[in-house]
Amino acid sequence: MDLVLEDRSGRVAAVEVKFSETLNPRDAKGLIHLREALGKKFLNGAVLYLGAEAVPLTEKILALPVGYLFSQ
């Protein structure tokens, strides 16, 4: 994981960054492990990648194009 954010109540969101235009299930492995370990405290996870599509990977984990960070 590249970024883990936790609020004062212990809820967590996390981000993984991949320098690839394609994804495979292993790309979310760390986020899935964190989600399973934290249970309800895990809010959401995102895999940022160089592709063009926003894609749901698993429950509470999305793949998002890095360009989404800079678009209006």
**Residue type at 36?**
E
* Helix H or strand E segment including 29: helix 29-38
What share of the chain in percent tops pLDDT 70? 99
Which residue, 71, 10, 4, is CA-closest to 40? 10
70 vs 52 pLDDT, higher one? 52
Q: Which residues pair with 20 in a beta bridge?
A: none
What share of the chain in percent tops pLDDT 90? 85
Domain count, the chain: 1
Q: Are 47 and 25 in contact (CB under 8 A)?
A: no
Look up the domain containing 57 and give its range.
3-69
**pLDDT value for 68:** 83
* The overall pTM is greater than 0.85: yes
Six-digit token string for 46: 């995102």
pLDDT digits (tens, 9 = 90+) for 6-16: 999 999 999 99
pLDDT digits (tens, 9 = 90+) for 52-69: 999 999 999 999 999 888
Spatial separation of the C-alpha atoms in residues 22 and 55, rounded to whole Å = 11
